[in-house]
Each structure stands twice: as C-alpha cells, then as structure tokens.
Amino acid sequence: MGPEVSDNRTISVTDFHPCYEIHDFSYILSKTPSVICVLLYSFLFLLSVVCVCGNLLVIISIIYFKQLHSPTNFLILSLAVADILVGIVVFPLSMVFSLSSCLFHEDLFCKIRSSLDISLSTCSILNLCCISIDRYYAVCQPLTYKAKINNRVAVLMILVCWGGSALIGIGVILAGLNNDTCDEVCSFDTLMYNTIGPILSFYLPVIIMLCIYFKIFLVAQKQARRIMNTTHKSAVTVSKTERKATKTLAIVLGVFLLCWTPFFLCITFPSLSNSAPVSVMETLNWLTLSNSMLNPFIYAFFYSWFRSAIRMIVTGKIFKGDFTNTTLQK
C-alpha cells in the first residue's frame, strides 16, 4: 500500500531508495546496483520464499488431512491463500515497483501493485475478523456453535471476505490514485484514500475484533473458574482445546496489529507520512508485507497438529500412501 504524498515534497537520491536512480525525471532500477541494494533484495527475496513455503504448508495440511476440515481451519486456509498471494505476487511487484518509486510518477504497474496490496491486506484482516466471530461462538456459545458455524457458513464468510476486499481495493485505487489527472476533486480522492479506505479496511474491523476477543477473554475466565470445580474430564478437555485455539488466533491478530498499525497511522495522518523519511515509509511498507510470512510460524509453534502435518509433508510420507484419515496429534 502506498500513501498519498504531496508533490511539493523534496527528496534526495540517497534518501529515495538504494536500488533506484533518476533518469529523465523518472525513477528506474539502477543498472549497476550497489552492495546495499543486492543485500536488500536478497533479503526480500528470502522473505518471499519463506512466505510462500510456509503458507503452502498450511494450505496443503488443511486440504489434505480430513481431520482438519473444520470451519475454523477453512477460515485459516483462506487467510493462508491471501498470504501466499502476497508472497507470489505483491512481493515481486513491490521489489520492481517499490513504494518509493511509485510516490510521484505512478504508472499502470504501480496501480496494479497498490490495488493488489490493498485488496489482499483487506482480505487478511476480514478473514481475521471472521475467525474472531468463529471463536466467539466456540467459546461463548459452545452448545450452539456447530449449529451456527458450519462449513456452509464458513464458505459464505470467505466469499464475503474476498468479495468485500476486492471492492474496497478497486474503490480506493480508483479514488486515490488519479491525482495526476484531477484538479479540485483530488481533495475527495485523498480523503477516500487516506481516511475512508483505512477506516473500512483496517480500523473498523480491528475495533470489532478487539471487542470480540475482550468478550471471549471474560467468558474464558469464567469457564476456567468453572473447570476448577468440575470433574467431567471431557468438558475440561474440550474447553482447554477451544481456549488454546482462541489464544493462538489472538496472537495471530496481535502480530497483525504490530505489523500493520504503524503504516496505517502514517497514511491516515498526512503530517506523519509527509514528515517521515522515504526510507521509513519503505520500511513500514515491507513490515506490513512480512506479516504474511509470520502466521505459519505461529501455527507451528502453538499447534502440534500443524507440526505433525509438516513432518509428513516435508518427509514425503503423504506421497507414499493415503494418509488423509490420519489422526494428527492435537
């Protein structure tokens, strides 16, 4: 995603980007890249590879093993698809058409990169919002959970996430990236891109999720006190499993906020984006993209079923027979 920046802002070549140079009043990739540029792009390429591989493992695990075919995991699958598309599409496009090079002279590819960036980031947070709703019913209303949140409902949630994010991405781009051809109407475009867009795609869903997880936390505390007074083993096991899943997905939300909040604050308040060095904005942009790489590591750390699935996939065991009905360690 790229912030709106006024044309009266001046930057030096060194402040601009280590991999670009000025040529005929435009910014192009340097034909003789510096050592810093090579190291930077090698690191970003590594992030892209790790992002794709990690999320691919999540996708294969949930699709292959029938034990993992649940509404919660289908929402996680949708999140992993959005994240892997970031690694496959947005990472390479952002390396060639960086935030810095697209600040002033945006062309078609800059707009495509920004549109995909906005759409996929919005899709990620809408998926997280749906996951929080799923967790609310699982923890707060366990008796009616299976009736209210089934596979059909999960698929409907996923369709809303992808359809809504596509509309927001296209709408924000049409309104916010036409400053080179507009006059008075640009004030509305900037308002749409810097205020309305972030509210719809970030702030509003985040507020909803924080409220839901706070409610879940309160209910989980009450359940924990009840468990201490019960001797029913199955009830204790189910409650612990649900609370562990909720804790893991809350951490996923927390990591998302740490990666995305600084960038959204900068593009929401023009005084911050205009005063921040280009290198800072570039760093914040890559921090947001790196979030797509981190989720699989969170799953691997907290979910034993994911670690078991990874071992079977990496060792090639799933290619030596039919293990779709294998019971993975919980």
pLDDT at position 6 is: 40
| Structural Rg of the chain based on CA atoms | 22
CA–CA separation, 83 and 251 (whole Å)? 16
For 274, list phi and psi in degrees, rounded to 5. -75, -30
Strands 20-23 and 26-29 come out as antiparallel
The per-residue pLDDT string of the chain (330 residues; one tens digit each, 9 = 90 and over) reads 544 444 444 444 445 566 766 666 556 666 677 788 788 889 989 999 999 999 999 999 999 999 999 999 999 999 999 999 999 998 988 887 776 667 655 667 777 787 888 889 889 888 988 988 998 998 888 889 999 999 999 999 999 999 988 987 787 667 655 554 555 445 545 555 567 767 877 888 889 888 988 888 888 777 767 766 665 555 555 566 666 777 777 888 888 889 988 888 887 776 665 666 777 778 888 898 898 999 888 877 778 888 889 999 999 889 888 889 888 876
Give pairs for 21-27: CB < 8 Å, separation 24+: 25/105, 26/105, 27/100, 27/101, 27/104, 27/105
Give the position of tokens 């060639």. 96
CATH 1.20.1070.10 given to domain 53-319: yes
How far apart are the C-alpha atoms of 258 and 195, rounded to whole Å? 20
CB contact at 8 A, 1 and 288: yes
**What pLDDT score does 24 carry?**
60
What integer pLDDT is reported at residue 163 of this predicted model? Answer: 94
* Spatial contact of 318 and 64, defined as CB atoms under 8 Å apart: yes
The pLDDT, as a whole number, for residue 206 is 87
Q: How far apart are CA 210 and CA 189, in angstroms?
A: 29
Of the candidates 199, 2, 213, 53, which has an alpha carbon nearest to the alpha carbon of residue 128?
213
The reported pLDDT for the residue numbered 220 is: 77
- Cα separation, 138 vs 148, in Å, equals 10
Measured N-to-C along each axis, helices 204-227 and 108-140 cross at an angle, to the nearest 10 degrees, of: 20
Helices in the chain by DSSP H: which ranges? 13-16, 35-64, 71-85, 91-96, 108-140, 145-148, 151-176, 186-191, 197-198, 204-227, 233-268, 270-275, 278-302, 304-314
At 99-115, the pLDDT tens digits run 666 765 566 777 778 78
Q: What is the pLDDT of residue 26?
A: 59
The letter for the amino acid at 17 is H
CA angle in degrees (0–180, nearest 5) for 247-253-69: 65
pLDDT for 5:
42
Burial class (CB in 10 A: 0-12, 13-18, 19+), 196: middle
| pLDDT value of residue 280 | 79
